[in-house]
């Protein structure tokens, strides 16, 4: 139970998130149908810093209900700190991050993986609400424009990240390249190995010197 926070604030945040998710599902009927197959699943998300507990309940109509309080038995519970959850949301491959991170998964992980797959596959038809409001022609044109803006934004973001990486590694020499780092680490490993061997030889030698000659 979330005893440290004002329930009205948590409820407001969850209502907004629930509304956005369910609106997205309305625009992607295939995902809504897939979600309906998971009906009855209760996912508990527990964060210990800040202390917060949220439940996601899959409803039979293929909608998600988010609540700060639930008395139903949880199908799966995920525990972790805020950093772990942030890393998960920004990860390129959330499934791998989920397994390799410090997040603790308790219960049946199958519905969690199914939910994760569903989110990854989701493709809401953003054109539908625009066409509904503006009509076929204007709605389609605006949707195309928005699609181009998003694509440009995505491409620009990728390009910026690549160029920033090149500047840091190649031009500014602010950080060593990955291959150089890898070679450095191998050298360290090799040095550690040699030092260990030398240490054991010295120990053996010291042992021999201590032992009286026969």
Partner 1 sequence: MTDKTNAASGETTDFGFETVNKNEKEGLVRGVFDSVANRYDLMNDLMSAGIHRLWKRFTIELSAVRPGQTVLDIAGGTGDLAAKFSRLVGDNGQVLLADINDSMLKVGRDRLLDSGAVGNLHMVQCDAQMLPFPDASIDCITIAFGLRNVTDKDMALRSMERILKPGGRLLVLEFSKPVNPIFEKIYDTYSFRVLPLMGQLFNNDADSYRYLAESIRKHPDQDTLLGMMEDAGLVNCEYHNMTGGIVAVHRGIKA
- Per CB under 8 A, does 15 bind partner 1? yes
- Per CB under 8 A, does 17 bind partner 1? no
**Least distance between partner 1 and beta carbon 64 (Å):** 15
Q: How far apart are CA 99 and CA 101, in angstroms?
A: 6
- Draw the binding track, 60-99, toward partner 1 (x: CB under 8 A; -: no contact): -------xxxxx----------------------------
**Least distance between partner 1 and beta carbon 51 (Å):** 15
- Per CB under 8 A, does 8 bind partner 1? yes
- Per CB under 8 A, does 11 bind partner 1? yes
Within 10 A of 78 (CB to CB), how many other CB atoms are there?
A: 21
> What tokens does 79 get?
């525990």
Residue 47's alpha-carbon distances to 103, 127, 147, in angstroms, are: 10, 36, 35
* 142 close to 47: Cβ distance less than 8 angstroms: no
Shorter beta-carbon distance to partner 1: residue 13 or 131:
13
* 57 close to 45: Cβ distance less than 8 angstroms: no
Shorter beta-carbon distance to partner 1: residue 67 or 97:
67
Q: How many residues bind partner 1 (CB under 8 A)?
A: 11
E strands in the chain: 42-48, 51-59, 63-67, 76-80, 104-107
**Least distance between partner 1 and beta carbon 186 (Å):** 56
3-class DSSP state of 73: coil
**Least distance between partner 1 and beta carbon 16 (Å):** 11
From candidates 12, 133, 191, 195, binder to partner 1 by CB under 8 A: 12
């Amino acid at each position: 139970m979330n005893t440290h926070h004002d329930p009205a604030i948590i409820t407001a945040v969850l209502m907004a998130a629930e509304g956005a998710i369910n609106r997205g599902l309305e625009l992607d009927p295939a995902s809504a149908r897939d979600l309906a197959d998971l009906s009855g699943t209760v996912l508990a998300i527990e964060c210990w810093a800040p202390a917060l507990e949220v439940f996601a309940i899959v409803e039979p109509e293929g909608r998600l209900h988010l609540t700060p309080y639930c008395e139903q038995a949880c199908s799966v519970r995920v525990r972790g700190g805020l950093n772990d959850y942030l890393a998960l949301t920004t990860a390129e491959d959330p499934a791998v991050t989920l397994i390799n991170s410090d997040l603790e998964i308790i219960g049946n992980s199958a519905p969690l993986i199914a939910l994760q797959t569903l989110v990854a596959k989701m493709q809401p038809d953003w054109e539908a609400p625009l066409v509904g409001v503006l009509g076929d022609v204007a709605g389609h044109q605006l949707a195309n424009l928005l699609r181009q803006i998003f694509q440009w934004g995505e491409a620009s973001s990728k390009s910026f990240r690549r160029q920033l990486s090149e500047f840091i590694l190649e031009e500014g020499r602010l950080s060593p390249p990955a291959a150089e780092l890898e070679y450095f680490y191998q050298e360290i490993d090799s040095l550690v190995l040699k030092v260990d061997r030398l240490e054991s030889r010295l120990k053996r030698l010291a042992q021999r010197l201590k032992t009286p000659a026969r």
